[in-house]
Amino acid sequence: MKRSFLILALLAVTAFTAVRAQQTKPDWMRWHYLSEEEMNTPVRAINFTETPPPTGEPRFVAEFEPMQGVMIRYPLGIPTNLVAQLSNNCMVYCIVSSGYQNQAQSSFQNAGVNMSNVTFVNAQSDSYWVRDYGPWYIFEDRHPAIVDNIYNRPRPNDDNMSGVFANYWNIPMYGMNLQHTGGNMMEDGRGHGVSDDLIVSENGNNEENVRQKMQQYLGIDPYHITIDPQGDYIAHVDCWGKYLAPDKILIAQLPQSNPRYQYYEQVAQYFATTNCCWGYPYHVYRVQEPGGYTIAPYTNSLILNKTVYVPLGDNNNYNNQALAVYQQAMPGYEIVGVPYNSYYGGWENTDALHCRTRGVMDFNMLFVDHRAVWHGMPDWQPSYQVVSKFIAYSGQELKQDSLLVYYQINSSEYQVAHMTATGNPDEYAGTITGYASGDTIRYYVFGADESGHRYTQPVFAELDPHEFIVGPHAPSGELVIAPDTLWYTAMGQERSFLLTNETDALVRVNEINPEDGSALNLMEPDVPFDIQPGASVEVTVSLQTPPMKDDYHAYKIQITTTLGQYQVTAMVKNEAYDMGLYIPGAPVVEMTVDEPQAECCVVNGNYGTDTPIEITDIYEVENPWGNAYLTITMDYGLPYTLDAGSSCCFRLNPNVVEAKGQVTTFVFVESSDRRVEFMVSIDEDLLTTVTEVSGETKLYPNPTAGEFTVEGANMAKVEVYNLVGQKVYQAEGAVVTIDATRWNKGIYLVNIINQNGAVETKKLVVK
């Protein structure tokens, strides 16, 4: 007994001494970021060469944009099982010396890494902090390039890494004569950037020079240079803040009793009162950290495509709160907590997952840049035009019929507006119509190109769209037409405009006549028709045969009403002629309970050359859940030859699969000419309403707009949490029915606890 007590006492003294030693270590030992030799070695730009800035327009890509891969270094600074997870997300580019490659390969294989997604890049390195010394990827106009800077650590091999990857990718590299580091830089992909004031002090306190070079080489303007609220040796922005989207920023928060509390609040207040690139103040999200020696490195996370890898600390309560904040701020993303408690390489508050990885942008991404975002309460307009640029870095053509604005008026179903070319480079516009004063409009922009890339703005789409409220409206006393110009780029396209009666009397529309020879056809409504005071009527006109002219040709659509004559212009592009395989009308198919079956058709548009097209395959694209939402049937076998001017059709029926809420899928038609694509929107009521949680446990219906039930033979208790970690419901029993009618719409986490205490967690969607 005495011997046991003595051992415990010795252990306690040893532990106390270790903590005391940790707190009293000299800086060069505690700050593993620099060795003692490095602490006394000035930064030397051994491997840096200054160059003129890019001659094209630079765009510094954000971390939350599409990534083809992620860079790491071996020997690792991250868990091997995390490498396995990353390899199932994208390519892993592992920097490794030739002498270590066999060891790295063996280690990865033993950990279950997907080796087909691993590329070893042989190079000497000094450390695993690839975030800080790795290349800064940009687009120069439409081409990938790298910007190099003077790495602010005296590590010549690390400082050479930009050149290594410029040679590896065979892309240009520009030398920006600034001492900088990746951990002290975050960007929104649209020209806004953030660093703390280390960037000024490390460059001769010449702030004007810093700002000028950041704008010339990276396109960063405005450049937000803040204080360092952490007040630690490292002075890196990723230790306390992070861009989550162009209008969202995450900033750590300390207890009020912490001496640094006021500095964190000062930075948070700055962003809460500073406009993002979309013209309104940032949405600032706060992640709680206890301060002191408790490990809580939550802002030092890695965003990789639709997944966020969050380093976990040593306090589970703070861990859970941090994960919930990420889920709230980034709906639709998978939030993955990454513990790492290795004695030799665990996380620290000044060094975690973000520091030890670096994303590699997708060189072929599709960029959706809708900059003039509607927000707040703009003045009344008869229609709101949504203008966006679409940049296909792949070099492939945009899918003209897949440039769309999805918009919702109040709580109605989403509608689709096609976007058409404005005549400015890469610019397209769509129109939101059919609302009244005081209505809430939610919308997002979608685009796709022929390479198969697609993207939305915001990236969260309908889970967190742009939003504004229609301003007050006083009738103008006339018939309003919006838009007054229709843009056509392909045969079979349908375009619409809205006639709104803003008088106090009925207006009759007697005739709608497209100009003779224009090959435009009035689809609906039938004329004559009446428009009641304050009401609107949508008029749809299709393009039948385009003119044999270059570029765009303007045709007039004459409208005769009891108020007088009006005119709409139709801009028709010649390249619609002999366009090959195309989809007549809109390539968006909606399947509802009222119309559960849909028919889709494609047309051989080679009218002039009379070239046949062979249809080789029709299939639904594989989705992340592995569900086939549709059954595709046709009356003929494949391959099928489609003569010029002829069409073929097929039918879509919904399958009974696990419900996933609002479902959007895609159907591809492959041919000897090209691939065309249908977007299919499926009402979730057409899918099963029962979600299998396990072999014995069920959660249904999911999604729900009212009650839902959880049941299981071995179930003991149910707990429901919202995404900020608050428990909203708890009940016991083998069958529990819960009324969610008054709950806020969104995603909830349902913990299903069995008799043995095991817990299964499932997402519940409340509509």
How is 545-556 classified by DSSP, letter by letter?
S--S-SSEEEEE
Strands 479-482 and 494-501 turn out to be antiparallel
The C-alpha atoms of residue 539 and residue 521 are separated, in whole angstroms, by 11
Q: How far is CA 474 from CA 284, 385, 481, 504, 666, in A?
A: 36, 20, 16, 12, 42
Measured in degrees and rounded to the nearest 5, phi and psi for residue 586 equal: -80, 140
Q: Which amino acid is at 623?
A: N
Contact 269, 263 (CB under 8 A): no
Burial of 586 (0-12, 13-18, 19+ CB in 10 A): middle
**What is the Cα–Cα distance from 435 to 415, expressed in whole angstroms?**
12
At which residue do the structure tokens 């940790």 appear? Answer: 22
Task: Say if residues 712 and 696 touch (Cβ distance below 8 Å).
Answer: yes
User: What tokens does 194 get?
Assistant: 């953030």
Find how far residue 640's CA is from the centre of its chain. 38
Phi, psi of 536 (to 5 degrees): -130, 150
**CB-CB contact of 85 with 335 (8 Å):** no
Among 90, 94, 355, 600, the one annotated catalytic: 355
Active site residue 355: yes
Structure tokens at 518: 């224009």
Q: Distance between CA atoms of 128 and 81, rounded to whole angstroms?
A: 17
Give, rounded to a whole angstrom, the gap between the first and last alpha carbons of the chain.
63
Q: How many CB atoms lie within 10 A of CB 414?
A: 19
Beta carbons of 520 and 514 less than 8 angstroms apart: yes
Instruction: Please tell me whether residue 78 adopts helix, strand or coil conformation.
Output: coil
What strands, in cross-sheet order, belong to the sheet with 707-712?
Answer: 691-692, 697-700, 707-712, 735-739
Q: Which of 255, 227, 257, 256 is nearest to 241 (CA)?
A: 227
Sequence letter at residue 122: N
- Burial tier of 759 (Cβ tally within 10 Å: 0-12, 13-18, 19+): exposed
Peptide bond into 382 cis (omega under 30): no
C-alpha dihedral sign at 72, 75, 79, 85:
positive
Active-site positions? 355
